[in-house]
Structure 1
Amino acid sequence: MADMADMADDGFDLDAIDELCAAATPGPWFVRSLDDDHAMNLVAVSTVEDTGRGERWPAFDHGEIVAATLVQQPRYVDCADERWDENAAFIAMARDAVPRLVAEARRLRRMAGEEGVSPP
C-alpha cells in the first residue's frame, strides 16, 4: 500500500514516477556527439560518456544509446526548434535528477504531514 505522503492531490503520483525511473535503463546518462552513416551530426543520450572523437556509425555500440535528439541521415530525428543539444542535456540530467526530486517531494510531504499541514 502506498504511503499517504505519496498520495497528495497535486497530480503527481510519486509511486508511478518511481516505477518509471526503476524501469528505465540505469544511469548515469551522458550526451554524446556522434556521426550517422553519412558523417552528419547525430546527438544522442548514452550510458557511456562522450569520447570527443565524434565516432561515426557503425563505430559505436548502438546498445549504449538510450535516446537520440538528432539523426540527420536518414532524417529520423530532427526537432523543429533545433535544440538537439539542449534536449539531450535535459534527458541525460533527468535520469539522475528525477529520482532525487521524488525523494525530496516525499520528504517534504512527510514533513508537512508531521506538522499537520495538508500537502498542496
Structure 2
Amino acid sequence: MTTPEPVTDEELDELDELAQAATPGPWFVRHLDDEHAMNLVAVSTMPDTGLGERWPHFDHRETVAATLVQSPRYVDTADERWDENARFIAAAREAVPRLLAEIRRLRAQPWADVSEGGPRQAN
C-alpha cells in the first residue's frame, strides 16, 4: 500500500469551506417509507422517530441526502450498504470540522514540520 501525500493547507481550507457551506448539523439517519419512495434511508437534520413515517407526515426540507430509495429504484448501491453509507455521511457532518481543527492544532505544535509532511526530530 502506498502512503498518501500529506494534506496541504489549501486542501484543508477547501474542506473547511465545504463544511461551512453545508447544511448545519447535527445530521441523523432516518428510515422513511411511502408509496413514492419505498424504504427510504435518508440523512436528515431531524432524528429518526422509529415510526417509518410516510409522506406527507415528514418534512422533505429536513432531508439532506438519501442512500436508498428502493421503489422506484432511484438510489440503491450495488453493495447494499445504504445504512452504513447514511451513518457515515451523518457522522462526517460533525467529524470533518473536528478533524480539520485537530490537524491545524497539531500542525501548530512546535515539533510539527508541515513542509515535510511529518514531525521534526527533537534536539
Higher alpha-carbon deviation: 10-19 or 66-75: 10-19
Identical aligned pairs, as a percentage? 70
Sort the Cα spacing of 1:78 and 1:116 in 2 relative to 1 into closer, same or farther, 3 A. Answer: closer
Cα contact 1:33–1:52 (8 A) shared by 2: yes
Matched, 1:83 2:81: yes
Q: Which runs of 5+ in 2 are unaligned?
A: 118-123
TM-score normalized by structure 1?
0.84
> How many residue pairs get matched?
110
Distance, in Å, in 2 between the alignment partners of 1:17 and 1:72 is 31
- CA deviation after TM superposition for structure 1 residue 117, in Å: 2.9
Matched, 1:115 2:111: yes
Q: Return the structure number with greater relative CO, CA threshold 8 A, min gap 6.
A: 1
Counterpart residue type for residue 111 of structure 2: E
Higher alpha-carbon deviation: 101-110 or 10-19: 10-19
Higher alpha-carbon deviation: 37-46 or 80-89: 37-46
Counterpart residue type for residue 54 of structure 1: G
Q: Which runs of 5+ in 1 are unaligned?
A: 1-8
Sort the Cα spacing of 1:25 and 1:82 in 2 relative to 1 into closer, same or farther, 3 A. Answer: same
TM-score normalized by structure 2?
0.82
Sort the Cα spacing of 1:57 and 1:11 in 2 relative to 1 into closer, same or farther, 3 A. Answer: same
Q: Which residue of 1 aligns with 2:20?
A: 22
Distance, in Å, in 1 between the alignment partners of 2:80 and 2:63 is 20
